[in-house]
């Protein structure tokens, strides 16, 4: 099985964190990384945080792939713990999932899946994409296939 973890593009300021929208640069970041990673992203079942910038990121990815938008997962916001995400993943049977979320959750989730601990040792800049593979989603059993940052595309 494959898991694609996407951190949203650059966001601006707003009255509350959930209301922060992508900047023009953030939109460009997402479009660039989507184009570069298109073959890896096509056909994945997509889920996004309810925060505006994650929803906008998912929308841009969906447009870039010519696919429908995904669904919202309430428990993948910046301050959520990775354990509930891991429990949810363990129940999924789809061959390829995509999660569009935030720091520090994305780094903590990758660490938990690959290393078995929440060390947040995997840096995820805005519009970064991590691809993991595993036979089952459990602590320390995933393999990090790639970690691509939009700045790597320059």
Nearest-angstrom CA–CA distance, 102 and 26 = 14
Average pLDDT value for residue range 40-57: 97
The encoded tokens of residue 56 equal 């906008």
The CA radius of gyration of the chain, in Å to the nearest whole number, is 14
The model's confidence at residue 153, banded by pLDDT at 50, 70 and 90, is confident
Q: Coil, helix or strand for 116?
A: coil
Q: Assess contact for 98 and 44: CB atoms under 8 A.
A: yes
Average pLDDT over residues 94-98: 94
Q: Is the pTM of this model over 0.85?
A: yes
Q: How many CB atoms lie within 10 A of CB 73?
A: 19
What values do phi and psi take at 111, rounded to 5? -60, -45
Read off the pLDDT band of 154 (50, 70, 90): low
The domain at 2-153 falls in which architecture?
Answer: 3-Layer(aba) Sandwich (3.40)
Give mean pLDDT, residues 73-82.
Answer: 97
Using alpha carbons, list the distances in angstroms from residue 112 to 20, 67, 86, 106, 109.
Answer: 27, 30, 8, 10, 5
Give the model's pLDDT for residue 68. 87
**For the segment 7-38, what is each residue's pLDDT rounded down to a tens digit?**
999 999 999 999 999 999 999 999 999 999 99
State yes or no: pLDDT of 133 exceeds 90. yes
């Amino acid at each position: 099985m494959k898991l694609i973890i996407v951190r949203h593009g650059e966001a601006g300021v707003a009255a509350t964190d959930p209301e922060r929208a992508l900047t023009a640069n953030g939109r460009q970041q997402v479009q660039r990384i989507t184009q570069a990673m298109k073959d890896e992203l096509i056909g994945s079942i997509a889920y996004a945080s309810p925060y505006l910038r994650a929803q906008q990121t998912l929308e841009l990815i969906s447009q870039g792939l010519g696919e429908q938008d995904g669904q919202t997962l309430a428990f993948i916001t910046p301050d959520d713990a990775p354990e509930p995400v891991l429990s949810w993943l363990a129940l999924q049977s789809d061959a390829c999932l995509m999660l569009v979320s935030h720091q520090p959750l994305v780094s903590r989730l990758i660490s938990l899946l690959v290393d078995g601990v929440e060390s947040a040792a995997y840096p995820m800049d805005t519009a970064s994409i991590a691809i993991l593979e595993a036979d089952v989603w459990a602590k320390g059993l995933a393999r990090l296939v790639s970690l691509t940052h939009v700045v790597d595309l320059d």
